[in-house]
Amino acid sequence: MAKKIRSLLYALIVLHLLWWLAAVIVNRPILPAPTVVYALLPSLLTQMGWHIYFSLYRLFWSLLWAMVIGTLTGIIIVRFPRVGAWVDPLVYFTYPIPKIALLPVVMLLMGLGDASKSQ
């Protein structure tokens, strides 16, 4: 176990030295040195925290709406066979369509705000 940890530390040290050397050779803002990146890491993590929060917020509401709509639709289809006979061909017809292909339609109908992102 100690040998694996030692090998990992050596690899990280070599990787950081190569990174620092490349940053010195390139000497452009496109490749900052490791020290610059690590100095800005706390502010980056704060910004990422907000992005993660809003993504989880959208995910929660999307899943909640999908469960409510899907459950109610399933109950209606099972309880009323005539509705099921009418809806089944529509479901079977639209099932092979890739869901990502519907994204432009949803964006056109819902816009670019939270409404389109939670669908």
Residue, of 34 and 111, whose pLDDT is higher = 34
Q: DSSP states of the chain as a string?
A: -HHHHHHHHHHHHHHHHHHHHHHHHH-STTS--HHHHHHHHHHHHHHHHHHHHHHHHHHHHHHHHHHHHHHHHHHHHHH-HHHHHHHHHHHHHHTTS-GGGGHHHHHHHH-SSHHHHT-
With 90 as the cut, is the pLDDT of residue 114 above it?
Answer: no
| 93-112 average pLDDT score | 85
**What is the reported pLDDT for 65?**
93
**What is the reported pLDDT for 105?**
86
Q: What is the mean pLDDT of the chain?
A: 89
pLDDT digits (tens, 9 = 90+) for 7-59: 999 999 999 999 999 999 999 989 999 999 999 988 888 888 888 998 899 89
Query: Which among 41-55, 58-72, 96-110 has the top mean pLDDT?
Result: 58-72
With 80 as the cut, is the pLDDT of residue 80 above it?
Answer: yes
